[in-house]
Structure 1
């Protein structure tokens, strides 16, 4: 199996919505974004699937070394081998890949965030940076496009946090800021016990408004001349924003179920966005 095939398999197996936006890219950009996504999956899986935090830290440290090897021209892992041809072509910066690894390590260090600035820092590491790297692969002629991509990454991550409240609670994690739980009268015990209350719904509406604000800010930042190149991100925005709308329409019943869109609907949203842009 070639490095590109390894990354393709990793991406397809993940079942991610991102896959649908990759389908519309030219071959070289598609290979680059698939390799980047596979990298994110590799480091994310370390935290999700390794039960011993000390082992997870060792594995993340290995990836830091592998990133150094990648930029020295001697990668050993199939994912970094697949990334290698694209580093210079798409200006993929070493510090951004390292920032993603740092974000994964944050999950080993804390399972609560006191306030929004703390959570925003986490979101930047695990999603904002990914947005910047992705936009670089899609094509950038204006620096504002990278600001758009960073904001869009934050919107995606907030949508994920809203969707996964129950799933994260089962792992002992609450990403919603502690001071905002207090503001709405929701306790950590309420979430860990999966209690769906009017107070919880009010808290989730507040989080959804924050995410919607990031979508609006991101789209307002995207320069017209880069809009066509950035269609994959716009496709993802259509899919994720529709998901957020569905969660809200369902009354934020995210504690005991995971709301998702069907593959056919994702493909339709991606195609509709593609032809409109």
Structure 2
């Protein structure tokens, strides 16, 4: 896939409003955690954030043959994953070039890319994360897992920061860190479910150290050991969450509030996984409405605190995103 400058133009206000409403409805049904935090953005940022997220959600669903991450899509499952991947790539490039596409989410991402000058390379990087799933990439080391986390989530944090009007490299690094933390949390929460689908994101070196084979992850008798590996992922996410906190001060106030709220909601999911131990996969771990509302309040305090906190350099030990244009 080549990298080029978007040729599409922003949509007119009425068309954009229609697409944003479609995106918001999909996100409200498919990702309650993100939907709760997104309500805190100013209206314009919220529209673009929803439209960006709708494209990401569509790509994820297309590869998994699902609707909003849950219900099965027999029409999609009838085609090969590599065919669906190729279609995502071609339709995304068409949207960036202002050409017709088959789904409104592509028109939405074309608008977001044009409106906020998103480098197309970032969209290409995100699609590369889905290709890792399609091609059954193996993750031998934790660096391999973190590379995957960047492509499926860290790069989304970078694009979201640009939607919020922030383009400084140091702040984009913090945004990438938050996306990576989110994905490490997701992997910990979904270890068993993903393994049943044939996807193991735990590094093979960790499995070997725990004397586990990939197939053991779904074995109920191995849950105590799997829980220890999940704890390790949750612990690994902590310095990335800490780094992301120090990027909040560089965001506009309402955006900082929204991001700080999402920071708290997702981090709590990881802490719940750790607290539940071997029973963490008896049902899907999530945060309820009351907990989300609590994080809205805590998010306001966290965003305000970030503006008064002593600046901390980003740890050199953290996995660092590739710079645009790097091979």
* TM-score normalised by the chain length of structure 1: 0.90
SS across alignment from 2:221: coil
Range that drifts further, 230-239 or 71-80: 71-80
Q: What is aligned with 2:19?
A: 3
Alignment check: 8 A CA contact 1:194 1:256 kept: no
1:170 to 180, 183, 196: 196
Q: What is aligned with 1:55?
A: 80
Say whether residues 1:73 and 2:98 are aligned partners. Answer: yes
**Aligned pairs (5 A) from 1:19-30:** 19-30=35-46
Q: What is aligned with 2:4?
A: none
CA distance in 1 between counterparts of 2:248 and 2:302 reads 16
Range that drifts further, 179-188 or 121-130: 179-188
CA distance in 1 between counterparts of 2:92 and 2:296 reads 32
1:139 to 165, 170, 173: 165
CA distance in 2 between counterparts of 1:201 and 1:86 reads 40
CA distance in 2 between counterparts of 1:141 and 1:41 reads 24
Alignment check: 8 A CA contact 2:52 2:109 kept: yes
Cα deviation for residue 265 of structure 1 reads 1.6
Alignment check: 8 A CA contact 1:44 1:104 kept: yes
Q: What is aligned with 2:73?
A: none
1:87 to 110, 113, 116: 113
Range that drifts further, 116-125 or 245-254: 245-254
Cα deviation for residue 43 of structure 1 reads 0.6
Q: What is aligned with 2:256?
A: 230
Q: What is aligned with 2:296?
A: 270
1:32 to 37, 48, 64: 48
Alignment check: 8 A CA contact 1:166 1:254 kept: no
CA distance in 2 between counterparts of 1:208 and 1:124 reads 16
Q: Tell me, which stretches of 5 or more residues in structure 1 are unaligned?
A: none
Alignment check: 8 A CA contact 2:150 2:176 kept: yes
CA distance in 2 between counterparts of 1:23 and 1:93 reads 26
Q: What is aligned with 1:215?
A: 241
The superposition leaves residues 166-203 of structure 1 with CA deviations (integer Å, 9 ceiling, x where unpaired) of 11122122211111111122332321213345433332
SS across alignment from 1:195: helix
CA distance in 2 between counterparts of 1:254 and 1:136 reads 35
RMSD: 2.2
CA distance in 2 between counterparts of 1:12 and 1:117 reads 33
Alpha carbons of structure 1 residues 200 and 275: separation in structure 2 relative to 1, 3 Å: closer
Cα deviation for residue 48 of structure 1 reads 1.2
Alpha carbons of structure 1 residues 38 and 256: separation in structure 2 relative to 1, 3 Å: same
Alpha carbons of structure 1 residues 51 and 88: separation in structure 2 relative to 1, 3 Å: closer
Alignment check: 8 A CA contact 1:144 1:223 kept: no
CA distance in 2 between counterparts of 1:155 and 1:200 reads 19
CA distance in 2 between counterparts of 1:151 and 1:56 reads 29
Say whether residues 1:154 and 2:180 are aligned partners. Answer: yes
Cα deviation for residue 150 of structure 1 reads 0.3
* TM-score normalised by the chain length of structure 2: 0.77
Cα deviation for residue 119 of structure 1 reads 1.3
CA distance in 1 between counterparts of 2:244 and 2:302 reads 18
CA distance in 2 between counterparts of 1:123 and 1:225 reads 23
